[in-house]
Amino acid sequence: MNTLDRLANAERAHNPFIYVMAMIVAFNGLLFGFDTGVVSGALLYIRGSFHLSTLLQEAVVSSVLVGAMVGAFTGGNLADRFGRRRLTIVGSIVFFVASIGMALATNVYMLIAWRLIEGVAVGFASIVGTLYISEIAPSDIRGSLGFFQQLMITIGILLAYVTNYVFAPTFLGIVGWRWMLGFGAVPAAILGIGVYFMPESPRWLINNGQPEKAKEVLSRLRSHDELADEIEQIRTVSEAEQQGSLADLREAWVRPALIVGIALAFIQQITGVNSVIYYAPTVLQGLGFSNVASIAGTVGVGIVNTVLTVVAILLADRVGRRPLLLVGTGGMAVMLVILGGSFFVPGLAGVIGWITLVSMILYVAFFAIGLGPVYWLLIAEIYPLRIRGTAEGVASVFNWLANFLVALTFLSVVDTLGKGITFWILAAFTILGFIFIYEQVPETMGRSLEEIEAELQDRALVGGETTGELPTSRDDVDRP
């Protein structure tokens, strides 16, 4: 079936088992989001329990990101070597144990150590969820299913905010932040148990010499007419390639896709979204909100984040990846300019908190329809099968590195330059990101993973395109 036929039949019914599998694996995203969001409220109480300086507050927040870099760097290769399913199970176990460890921490250094360990599981989760989903999904709904991961990230953040609100400041005589951090063990257990009963990715099975098992898995996900063609397409690509390694990322035809992945990784983070998620309660508290009111305000941020991600899911396979990225990034830049400017307007002491909160909510809304979900979807689509996990891991390492740098420095920069200038600096980075996306990021909507791979190879052979779009079929590429 060619691309136009596939798009023409985009509304056809699919096996419900595909959606069940995608939702279970997307619990990787829920763990990812929960950890991102829960520390924002917990920090208000942790700093009182351990009398933390600004530097130690930043260390508590950012330690998980160091672990995430390790998890992302090793996780891609592990996913390619041992499978997507096994890595997910290992990650859920690590997250479960670390959540309990954080809840029982007796000093800040023990807390930081457990958050570092938890970060490894978060790094695994950031890779393996979208990777698995992209490899089981039919091409006409791959965007929507790929966004399940981001939807679960936003639900995880919202769950974290609600958890913070429920357990603040104490619960059953125990300081609330321990319950907040320990609650992460619940979704970790659900993920591990759910994935234990799921099959391995059919593309990984074929690439690792298990075609019969792959056929068995795909027979549960595709119609009889689609099955043979897809098996043959995957097998052809797999047989033409050997198992990849980091060295293969230097190949000329892979390099443009790698650059796009790494650049988007930085853009997603240096636009400052996790500064808002990590430190929103701290910023609101500084504007006069109480601890509980600050946490309640972030629940509104979480609700908007989730709702707009659902909108992105509905649009992903209708309007494409690039339009969502451009609209989202452009809106974020505008909101950051307004947010920064609100801190320079005199005479608004009574309402500046509400201006800040509304600006934050709209900023997160634009992130939720663009950079939030589309980045993770694209890096699971644009790399060749033999190094897909490894390449996605490299891109994720840079994502976590940028996340770490922002989280580690945000409060210090605010203390030095003020909130207004800090948000304007983030706005400048966002504008640069918009320009890069417009010039360089390809459209992948409606294409099979094997078509995308073949066309990237063809583009390299003819010197590449600079329009930011992939050709609509292999026949559209002139042969040398």
DSSP per-residue letters across 18-81: HHHHHHHHTHHHHHHHHHHHHHHHHHHHHHHHHT--HHHHHHHHHHHHHHHHHHHHHHHHHHHH
Residue 387: name the closest of 35, 151, 77 by CA: 77
Asked, for residue 11, whether it belongs to a domain, the answer is: no
Query: What is the domain count for the chain?
Result: 1
- Kindly give the interhelix angle for 54-82 and 27-50, rounded to the nearest 10 degrees: 160
Among residues 70, 76, 91, 74, the alpha carbon closest in space to that of 28 is found at 91
pTM for the whole thing?
0.71
Domain membership of residue 470 (yes or no) is no
Q: Is residue 40 part of a domain?
A: yes
Residue 219 confidence (pLDDT) = 83
Split at pLDDT 50, 70, 90, the class of 116 is: very high
Q: Is the pLDDT of residue 4 over 50?
A: no
Domain-located, residue 353 = yes
Residue 93, both tokens: 């176990």
Residue with the bigger pLDDT between 353 and 317: it is 317
Q: Among 35-44, 259-268, 362-371, which is the least confidently predicted range?
A: 35-44
260 lies in a domain? yes
135-147 CB burial, b ≥16 within 10 A, e <16:
bbbbbbbbbbbbb
Residue 480 domain-assigned? no
pLDDT at 115 over 70: yes
- The conformational region for residue 276 under phi > 0 = left, psi -120 to 50 = alpha, else beta, is alpha
Q: Is the pLDDT of residue 479 over 70?
A: no
Name every residue whose Cβ is closer than 8 Å to that of residue 88 and which is 6 or more positions away in sequence. Answer: 25, 28, 124, 125, 128, 129, 132, 191, 192, 195
Q: Is the pLDDT of residue 361 over 60?
A: yes
Query: pLDDT grade, residue 150 (50/70/90)?
Result: confident
- What tokens does 179 get? 């319950």
User: For all residues of the chain together, what is the average pLDDT?
Assistant: 80
Tokens of 420: 């207004």
Residue 469 has pLDDT above 50, yes or no: no
Residue range(s) defining the domain that contains residue 107: 18-464
- In a domain, residue 478? The reply is no
Q: Residue 10 and residue 244: Cα distance in Å, rounded?
A: 32
Give yes or no for residue 257 having a pLDDT over 90.
Answer: no
- Give domain status of residue 2, yes or no: no
Instruction: Give me the half-sphere count of Cα atoms (radius 13 Å) on the Cβ side of residue 256.
Output: 23
**CATH code at position 336:** 1.20.1250.20
Q: What is the pLDDT of residues 413-445, one digit of tens each?
A: 888 898 889 989 999 999 999 999 998 887 877
